[in-house]
Structure 1
Amino acid sequence: MASVPILVAFAIAGAVLAWKGGDYLVRASDRLGAYYGLPAIVQGAIIAAVGSSFPELSSIIIATLRYGAFDIGIGAVVGSAVYNILVIPAVSALVGEGQRLASNRDLVYKEAQFYLLALAVLVLTFSLAVVYEPVGSPTSLEGFVTRPLALIPLLLYGLYLFMQYHDTLDHRASQTTVPSTVDPRRQWAILVASLAIILAGAELLVRSAVGFGDVFGTSPFLWGLTVVAAGTSLPDTFVSVTAARQGNAPMSLANVFGSNVFALLVALPIGILVAGGTVIAFQEIIPMMSFLTGASIVFFAVLRTEMALTRGESFVLLGTYGLFILWLVAESLGITAFVG
């Protein structure tokens, strides 16, 4: 069993690798998006979001295949989603022009609402597992998520891609110039190399989470919510904050929504498909999904007011995330036991 200092070193090294790999991947993805003439919202919701969410996908696959700890992957996705929806927009607004982050109707009425739909479909998928594939006693509220059930959120993501594809066609129809200064072959090579760096970082993060769970005798899900989620959220933070500083608020916000949609509808289901199915403990998942849903509703409400995220609203989001951290501290100390 590794010592705590070694596990901390693994976590830090993994976070750095995830950040640097995500940095290279997002830059390459952004340039490829510009080269192929994609609109800003599509670049943020698809290209940048998939790139910056690759650490979450990697952590789920590694945790499942190498350690048999799918709970770590679930925790990483949910914890990262909470961070993305509360912290990243708030920080982006505070560093943006006039300490506010402008929104628009495409973001509020398409991206935000589709994200809320993604949350609902994922909870529905888990509910179907408990109802039709129960495990243990009826009071245990555990269900086996089969591969066919895992296809439900993936099919919804297919609809998301279909919508973004048609937005891209509309954008290209009105575009007068096409960028020609990007070397696509070089950018694709950088993108592939960055994936290898992210995989190495995800391996270290998952290894540290497994080690912390063994040392402290706590749930792997809890360490996925904290250690792995924090490390895998760094690329998302970099993308949105950089876009906000450059005055590209639509891309900054679209990256937040797109990252969470990808993580919920693609990363988690792929982990289930790789595992051949998995047992979901409703009593652990639902409290965290409920908090994520509540946080998302708060974010949706403040974003809709004046179609912008202001300085005061940013502090509301950060305060909500503070409550989340306090909850996790209570879980780790045994004061509460919803996820531990």
Structure 2
Amino acid sequence: MTTTVTAYAAASAKAPLERTTIERRTVGEHDVLIDIRFAGICHSDIHQAREEWGEAIFPMVPGHEIAGIVEKVGPGVTRFKVGDRVGVGCMVDSCGVCEPCRSGHEQHCLEGNIQTYNGVGKDGEPTYGGYSQKVVVTEGFVVGIPDGISLDVAAPLLCAGITTYSPLKHWGAGPGKKVAVIGLGGLGHMGVKIAHALGAEVTVLSQSLRKKDDGLRLGADHYYATSDPKTFEELAGSFDIILSTVSAPLDFGAYLNLLKVGGALVNVGAPEEPIALNLFSLIGGNKILAGSAIGGIAETQEMLDFCAEHRLGAEIELIAAAEINEAYERVLGSDVRYRFVIDTATI
């Protein structure tokens, strides 16, 4: 039997999100039924609900930053039990047999991973996300949330946390390394916290100094305004890693000039427009321009364990479900420090 649950959904592109009901599938052999307690709001929720990233599936229940409690498990589930604290991120399944899946990189599944919402499950039905009371997910795509993190500040880690942790680990952020984070927003503030906890020397590069006090409090050692041309002169050749968390088009040549020889500029923000790049910006200094997409399930669990060990959680503003549409407008206006989280008890 399917389960009817209350959710907030957009009926069509650009429509406001409204309270409705959806059906969750029957708990199968290897499924976990999660009582959702908190759901983060990611900027990508807004892009998809407004059909800005291509044709979308409506009605749409956004939300891929899910934290809750296990309510029921299928008879074949071995990793979780009723009462466990768990999370679900950006994907809820994959083919499981291709090389990326077998190597723990399910986000790069060659058949395409199944997104937590605005996707189609293996049963042929649309997937619905975390702006809802409950969700059913196969156990292989559920992660445990350690006791060291409260569920509300843990929810955004399922996207913002892993999106910044994965590239920082991959490119070797740690003691003796200098890391710059472009943008101090929903992603950037976690990038600062994680890079600092990894032991790197951290610099924030932001348009202005408006959030400087926040940046230093969150773990940055230095804070510079990119609107000041002297910043690019003073910091030339300074960084081992630059993590760009912004979705605005950048002067990539100017930022590549801030890297040391062999340094990497890694993008987790995704501008809609194509970029222009003079390849001599890369050739000179053997520099790297890279991208990164979330992380696999094992790495997501590693990130949560790391955050619990270092007492890291997102900086959040907790809201009621009735405030979702207002929160979307505030995100677009950069009026949040630094992640909205929905208290799903208000759905």
**Larger RCO: 1 or 2 (CA < 8 Å, sep 6+):** 1
Whether the TM-score (by the shorter chain) exceeds 0.5 is no
Q: Which has the higher strand share?
A: 2
TM-score bracket relative to the smaller structure: under 0.3
Query: TM-score, normalised on structure 2?
Result: 0.24
Q: Which has the higher helix share?
A: 1
Query: TM-score, normalised on structure 1?
Result: 0.25
